[in-house]
Amino acid sequence: MISFYKVLVFLHIFSAILGMGPGFILTTVVKSGKNMTELRHSYAVRHKLHIFVMIGGILLLVTGILMGILNTSLFYMGWYVTSLILFLIALAMGPLALSPRSKPIKALLKSHQGENIPDEYYGLSRKLFMCEYIENGIFIIIISLMILKPF
């Protein structure tokens, strides 16, 4: 018989694939746009992928905390606590860093006339992508901690 804990572990791993997988390509998707029509389409695709990232992220947090509640020794393991703290930092980056940097881009995509991509977009996107690269780096550290459990 499969224990509830093993089901949680399965859901946790599945959520990581569902949420983090698409999260790593969000930047790449929009870099392919060569004109405003393609760029708008790229951001629409990005938005749809982001839904998977949000669902996976919520499931990751819930299953991870539930595993800690069922196996309280996890709260005494450095890799688990560090991963949880890093995940909460990455989660906070959404409203604190990513959203403020994506709003001007959304406004530009909505208001710009013509097919040429304005120079202003490149500066705005560079700032957004840098935050996303930092967040992806945090997720790589978290994944490494989950696999290696070094401390």
pLDDT at residue 1 greater than cutoff 80 = no
Whose CA is closest to 79, among 146, 1, 138, 32?
Answer: 146
Tokens of 67: 């595993």
Q: Tens digit of pLDDT for each residue in 32-70?
A: 889 999 999 999 999 999 999 999 999 999 999 999 999
Q: Tens digit of pLDDT for each residue in 63-107?
A: 999 999 999 999 999 999 999 999 999 999 999 999 999 999 999
Domain ranges of the chain: 4-148
2 — pLDDT class (breaks 50, 70, 90): confident
Beta-carbon contacts of 141 under 8 Å, excluding residues fewer than 6 positions away, are 86
Mean pLDDT, residues 121-144: 96
Tokens of 136: 């992806």
Provide the pLDDT for residue 85: 97
Provide the pLDDT for residue 143: 95
Mean pLDDT, residues 119-128: 96
Whose CA is closest to 52, among 80, 28, 26, 70?
Answer: 26
Tokens of 96: 């604190």
